[in-house]
Amino acid sequence: MIGTRELYASANGDRWLLVRDAGSGRVFVRHEPNAASGGQRAEIEIGEFLARGSQGPEHQALLRLIGTLVGDCASG
């Protein structure tokens, strides 16, 4: 079973999704380019995706999502 959650959709129609393959446990980002660009769908490992930079809105969306996992917990 594959689970997805949209991270970000750009104005031009590109989409970035967080994907989890329950069978393998693999978690990755899927980039789906807009149809007009003719680009190919890409599956990007989380580390590679974040290493590409953190300034894009798709990167910021993933970082915000990760931040919700710890919320306002006190460190310790």
What would the pLDDT profile of 59-68 be if each residue is shown by its tens digit? 999 999 999 9
Please give the DSSP secondary-structure letter assigned to residue 71.
T
Q: Tokens in use for 44?
A: 């990007």
Per-residue pLDDT tens over the stretch 16-54: 999 999 999 999 999 999 988 888 999 999 999 999 877
**Is the entire prediction scored with pTM above 0.95?**
no
- At CA 46, angle to CA 15 and CA 13, rounded to 5? 5
How many C-beta neighbours within 10 Å does residue 64 have? Answer: 11
Strand order across the beta sheet in which 27-32 lies: 2-9, 15-21, 27-32, 42-45
